[in-house]
């Protein structure tokens, strides 16, 4: 790869993504891959920490591969691969486990939230999740990690583990920096705008999925919960309208102030339709392209194969170094 800094990001293939995922992550990748060596992964092993239906997971892995490509990931310029195809991820996670303490993992907000949500399945993987994520990042000598605000704590742990390992065994890992997309990183539920938009919401009208067609998108925005007065301005007392303004501004690249001016004196009804149309205009071509790619599984398998081969070369260089540093004996080949 070129002499640029490495950027690593991963998304779990655990279901249909929402426009929150798009604005927070996917949208930035196309541009970032010009300035960095982009390494984009499907965190398929991470999804196993919550019980999955195998057939659905398989489908989701192809969906996400196609979606990455439809959002502009260039599989030749960047590396696009499935985490489970490069076994160095789980191998490095094991070594990192030996320098990570249970207390560090038990106080992770996501672990606590997910333990509450999946009380019947609080498994070791759920707790160890951030260590595997640290391995993902550190294997590639990553300098930049674009993440949502909810992953900040996990990135902090990856940095701590890198520093701890370097102190114990000598300089081995680059210490990564996080990149949290500003503004629209937080897209809220359309039904309860004080909660984050989530694809696992039981109320399908609460979120816009990357699979929604334009009619569905507009219908959902029409139903979005708004606030009682009729002013289209952003304010903490008006979470519903603020959320719609944020979404509109992100999808049109207009500032919130400009959007407020544009809709001054107009009613909520017209505004909601305009938001829906702005979102559909961006999402629909991506959805169509994704579906076109999905029809060709052989092509997607090929993309993942090439990606894994390229990822593996970088990953094993780091893993071998780690094994050497901790005192393991190099296996002789041939």
Task: Give me the least distance between CB of 197 and ligand TRP, in Å please.
Answer: 14
Task: Give me the least distance between CB of 136 and ligand TRP, in Å please.
Answer: 4
Residue 29 or 62 with smaller CB distance to ligand TRP: 29
Pick one of 7, 82, 105, 137: the residue that binds ligand TRP (CB under 6 A). 137
CA-based nearest residue to 77, from 41, 42, 36: 36
Enumerate residues 6+ apart whose C-beta is below 8 A from 119: none
The yes-or-no answer on residue 114 being catalytic is yes
Residue 264: both structure tokens together: 């001054």
Residue 134 or 191 with smaller CB distance to ligand TRP: 134
Task: Give me the least distance between CB of 177 and ligand TRP, in Å please.
Answer: 12
Residue 153 or 166 with smaller CB distance to ligand TRP: 153
Interactions with ligand TRP, residue window 29-48 (CB under 6 A): 43, 46
Task: Give me the least distance between CB of 10 and ligand TRP, in Å please.
Answer: 4
C-alpha distances out from residue 288 to 10, 70, 149, 261, 315, Å: 23, 8, 29, 33, 34
Distance of alpha carbon 81 from alpha carbon 64, whole angstroms = 11
**Using CB atoms within 10 A of its CB, is residue 1 exposed (0-12), middle (13-18) or buried (19+)?**
middle
Site membership for ligand TRP, residue 278 (CB under 6 A): no
The yes-or-no answer on residue 332 being catalytic is no
| Residues near ligand TRP (CB under 6 A), total | 14
**Which of 174, 199, 321, 325 is flagged as catalytic?**
199
Span near ligand TRP by CB under 6 A; candidates 3-11, 111-119, 163-171, 299-307? 3-11
Enumerate residues 6+ apart whose C-beta is below 8 A from 141: 6, 173, 174, 314, 318
Residue 52: both structure tokens together: 């999955």
Enumerate residues 6+ apart whose C-beta is below 8 A from 204: none
Task: Give me the least distance between CB of 262 and ligand TRP, in Å please.
Answer: 33
State the binding string over 139-158 for ligand TRP (x if CB under 6 A, else -). ------x-xx--x-------
Helix (H) or strand (E) holding 10: strand 6-11
Distance of alpha carbon 79 from alpha carbon 136, whole angstroms = 13
Site membership for ligand TRP, residue 314 (CB under 6 A): no
Q: Binding residues for ligand TRP, per CB under 6 A?
A: 8-12, 43, 46, 133, 136-137, 145, 147-148, 151
Catalytic residue numbers read: 114, 196, 199
């Amino acid at each position: 790869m070129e002499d640029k800094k490495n950027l690593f990001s991963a998304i779990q293939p655990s279901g249909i993504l929402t426009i929150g995922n798009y604005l927070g992550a996917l949208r930035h990748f196309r541009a970032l891959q010009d300035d960095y060596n982009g390494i984009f992964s499907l965190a398929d092993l991470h999804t196993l920490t919550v019980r999955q239906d195998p057939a659905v997971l398989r489908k989701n892995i192809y969906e996400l591969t196609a979606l990455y490509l439809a959002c502009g990931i260039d599989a030749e310029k960047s590396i696009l691969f499935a985490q489970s195809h490069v076994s160095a991820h789980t191998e490095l996670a094991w070594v990192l486990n030996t320098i990570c303490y249970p207390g560090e993992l038990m106080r992770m907000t996501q672990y606590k939230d997910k333990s509450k949500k999946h009380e019947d399945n609080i498994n070791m993987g759920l707790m160890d999740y951030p260590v595997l994520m640290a391995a993902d990042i550190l294997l590639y000598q990553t300098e930049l990690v674009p993440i949502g605000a909810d992953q900040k704590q996990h990135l902090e742990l990856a940095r701590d583990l890198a520093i701890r390992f370097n102190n114990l065994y000598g300089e081995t890992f680059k210490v990564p920096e996080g990149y949290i997309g500003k503004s629209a990183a937080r897209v809220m539920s359309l039904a309860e705008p004080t909660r984050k938009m989530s694809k696992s919401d039981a109320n399908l009208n609460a979120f816009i999925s990357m699979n929604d067609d334009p009619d569905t998108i507009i219908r959902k925005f029409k139903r979005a919960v708004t606030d009682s007065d009729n002013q289209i301005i952003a304010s903490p007392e008006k979470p519903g309208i603020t959320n719609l303004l944020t979404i509109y501004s992100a999808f049109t690249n207009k500032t919130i102030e400009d959007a407020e001016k544009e809709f001054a004196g107009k009613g909520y009804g017209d505004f909601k339709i305009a938001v829906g149309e702005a979102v559909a205009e961006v999402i629909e071509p991506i959805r169509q392209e994704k579906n076109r790619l999905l029809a060709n599984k052989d092509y997607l398998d090929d993309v993942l194969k090439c990606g894994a081969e390229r990822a593996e070369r970088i990953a094993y260089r780091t893993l071998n170094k780690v094994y050497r540093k901790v005192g393991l004996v190099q296996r002789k080949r041939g």
